[in-house]
Amino acid sequence: MGDHVKASRSSHHDEEPLSPAARLFHAPRFNVYIIVVVGFKTRLNPDVVKAGLEQTLVKHPRFSSKMTKVNLEDHVIVPELDPKIDFPDRFVEDYVSNVTRTPLDLSKPLLELHILNIKTSDAEAVGVFRIHHSMGDGASLISLLLACTRKTSDPEALPSVPVKKRAGSTFNSRDGFWWFFLAIWLFLRLIWNTLVDVLLFVATILFLNDMKTPIKGAPGVELNVKKFVHRTVNLDDIKLVKNAMNTTVNDVVVGIVQAGLSRYLNHRYGEETKDGQVKQSNSNIPKGIHLRTVILVNLRKSAGIQDMADMMAKGSKIRWGNLIGYMFLPFTIALQDDPLDYVRKAKAAIDRKKLSLEPIFTNTCVGHWLSIIKVM
C-alpha cells in the first residue's frame, strides 16, 4: 500500500521504514492527494471494472501487502445519478471538489475510484481517481496504469511504450579541445547555477517571499475548500508550437501559463475606478514583479516514460515510490507584443534550471529535515 505500508516480514513484525517523501505526505495537516479525472467513450459497467481491478491492481504488492484481503467495495464508489442532470460538467467539478473534503482511511489501501455514469460535453462517463501521494509519484502511477492494461491486438501483452532514440555521435577527434572546453564551461555553469539556486532556496525558507499580487491568498487560504475547474486543451496545438519552435511540451505549457497570468494581472491592476469609470491602460503590470512557481522533477536516472510497466515487477531497476525533487521557476510577468515570446522566455528559464542540481538538493533537504523532526 505504498511507502506507508506496515509489512509483516518476520515474527517480531518490524515496520517497513517510510521514505522521506512518504513521511512528508503523512505529516499532520499535509494530506496530499493525486486527483485524476478520466473520460470514457462508453458507459462504465462497475462489475467489469471491479473484475479487471481484481485481476490487476489488487495483485500488485503495493496494494495488497497488508495481511487483510482488499475489499474492492470499499474503494470503488458508484453513486446513483440522474442521467438528465442539469449542467453535468459543473456537477463533475463540484463532485471532485467534495471528494477532497474527507481524508482517506489510513488502515486501507489509499486510493478510491468513483464511477460517474453521466454524459458530459467530453465523455459518456467519467472516472475519478483519488490516490494518496504517499503511494507514489506520477512516474510510479503511470507504471501502474500500464501494468493494468493490455494491447487490443494481444490481450495478453503489455502495451508498448515508444522510446526516444538518441542521436548518433558525431564526435571528431580534431574537435576534442573544443568539446573539452565546452564540458568545462557547462560544469562551471552547473556549479554556479546550483549555488545560486540553493542560496535562493534557503532565502525563501527564511525571508524571501513573492510580491503581493491579486492572485496571492491571505494566510490560512490553504485551509479553504478547493474548487476544481478544468478546461480541455488540444495537445496537437501544443505540439504544433513545440515543433515549430524546437522546444518541449513543458516549455509551451509554461509559456501559456505565463501569458494567462500576465493578461489576468494586467486586467486586475488596470481596474482603477475614476469617476465611476474603469480606467484601463495598455500595460498596468508593475515593473519588476516577482512571481514564482514550484515544479516537481522526476529524479530517476531513466529519462522519460520508458517501459514503466516493469516497475511493478520484483527486482526492477526503475524505482517505485516518490523519487522527486522540486525547483523554483521564476515567471516572466509582462505583456509581450509577440505571443511566442512567452514560450521563448519559458524555454530560457527552464533550460537554465536544467543546468542545476536544485531538485536533488531539495529532495535531500526534505529527508534530513524530516529526520531532524523525528529526533526532536
> Active-site positions?
133
Residue with cell 467513450: 41
Indicate the length of the chain as a whole number. 376
End-to-end distance of the chain based on CA atoms, in angstroms?
28
How do beta strands 277-279 and 324-330 pair?
unpaired
Among left, alpha and beta (phi > 0; psi -120 to 50; other), residue 155 is alpha
How do beta strands 111-116 and 76-77 pair?
parallel
Burial of 346 (0-12, 13-18, 19+ CB in 10 A): buried
At how many degrees (to 10) do helices 249-269 and 235-245 cross?
100
Q: How far is CA 300 from CA 36, 139, 305, 312, 360, in A?
A: 23, 9, 11, 15, 11
Q: Can you tell me the distance from the alpha carbon of 48 to that of 73, in angstroms, rounded to the nearest whole number?
A: 13
Q: Can you tell me the distance from the alpha carbon of 287 to that of 86, in angstroms, rounded to the nearest whole number?
A: 45
Q: Can you tell me the distance from the alpha carbon of 319 to that of 136, in angstroms, rounded to the nearest whole number?
A: 10
